[in-house]
Amino acid sequence: MTEIILIRHAQANAGARTEAEYDRLSALGRQQALWLADHLLQTGEVARVVSGTLSRQVDTARAIAGDELDHRLDPRLNELDYFSLADALKEARGVPFPTGPEEFAAHVPQVLDIWRRGEVGPHVESYEAFRDRVLGALAAAAAGGPGAALVTSTGVIAMLTAVALGLATDAKAQMFLRVRNTSVHRFELIGDSVFLTQFGATPHLDRPDRHAARTYL
């Protein structure tokens, strides 16, 4: 049995309409990452940090690793291509890109549905390919022994949660919407099985003076 910690990246550029615009940390995001780094340093449970290659993941991981921990890259931890999936949804069903939190909450289940049904075209990574690469990244981290913290994104965390709990697509969409920035999630690997042991903890943000820093977008 090996426990792996997954961390969602800190707050990025909310309100962006393209991946390039979104992929940078906000000022609050940088602070969230530093607070989490301090918390993990105090617990002493992280021995190494692995992140995807997206800027928001790398910058969050660098804050956590600091000068003390090894930080490596694994592109299998990169997020699903939400903007391309949104374009596919608009083309297939005429659903526009959301402009606010409420519209986004309604948009996510539709995006995941069209993706799961394979209606997104060959230029977008398939649902099955995404699932397989995410499981591969988790297995690789487990093979390196305990103490790994993987800095990734909402889609990766939601996918692993769905696999661990056997969730249907609609339930996975709800999990997708409940992953806070810099939240901590724990999974255990036993053989080929994945088990969820903690979802969405934010101990570094649970002080009263930091409650306003608990963000989803």
For residues 49 and 101, give the distance between their C-alpha atoms in angstroms, rounded to a whole number: 31
Question: What's the CA angle centered on 124, arms 116 and 51, to 5 degrees?
Answer: 90
Ranges 73-87, 167-181, 186-200: which has the least confidence = 167-181
For residues 154 and 200, give the distance between their C-alpha atoms in angstroms, rounded to a whole number: 11
Query: How much is the mean pLDDT over the chain?
Result: 93
CATH architecture, range 2-80+125-205: 3-Layer(aba) Sandwich (3.40)
pTM exceeds 0.75, yes or no? yes
Burial of 42 (0-12, 13-18, 19+ CB in 10 A): exposed
**What local confidence, expressed as pLDDT, does residue 168 receive?**
83
Residue 18 reports pLDDT greater than 90 = no
User: What does residue 189 show for φ and ψ, rounded to 5 degrees?
Assistant: -105, 125
Question: How is the chain split into domains, by residue range?
Answer: 2-80+125-205
Residue with tokens 């390039």: 20
Q: Supply the angle between the helices 101-116 and 82-93 in degrees, to the nearest 10.
A: 80
Helix and strand tally (H, E) in the chain?
Answer: 8, 6
pLDDT in tens, 93-143: 999 998 888 888 899 999 999 999 999 988 899 999 999 999 999 999 999
Cβ atoms < 10 Å from Cβ of 169: 14
Q: How far out from the chain centre does Cα 40 lie?
A: 18
Q: How confident is the model at residue 203 (pLDDT cuts 50, 70, 90)?
A: very high
List all residues 6 or more positions away from 34 whose beta carbon is below 8 Å from its beta carbon: 63
For residues 32 and 174, give the distance between their C-alpha atoms in angstroms, rounded to a whole number: 23
Helix, strand, or coil (residue 2): strand
* Contact call for residues 31 and 210 (beta carbons, < 8 A): no
Instruction: State which amino acid sits at residue 85.
Output: L
